Amino acid sequence: MANFITFDIDGVEAEFGAPQPDRIISGDPQFRSWNLEEAESGLYSGIWEATPGKWRIVYEEWEYFSLLSGHSIVTEEAVCRFI
């Protein structure tokens, strides 16, 4: 049997953001996130959401995420596409 850990965001203030303008390909994507934990090692946990849009991302770190609703297409530049 699986044990699930739920995130309680009651009382956690949402942070708002968006991609840098030069990274936006289409749409007007806006972000909202509730950060619940941050470790010095660069590990973060929380909830993140975005409005529709397409943008380039630049990450120096590794990321794991679980999609709760909607859909996302992640394409590695000039390589392959993951849905």
Return the domain boundaries, the chain: 15-82
Residue 5 C-alpha from the chain's centroid: 19
What is the average pLDDT across 57-63? 77
Residue 74 has pLDDT above 60, yes or no: yes
Kindly tell me if the per-residue pLDDT of 57 is higher than 80. Answer: yes
Q: Which three-class secondary structure state does DSSP give residue 21?
A: helix
Average pLDDT, the chain: 84
* Mean per-residue pLDDT, 35-59: 86
CB 66 within 8 A of CB 35: no
What residues contact 35, with CB distance under 8 A and at least 6 apart? Answer: 12, 15, 44, 45, 46
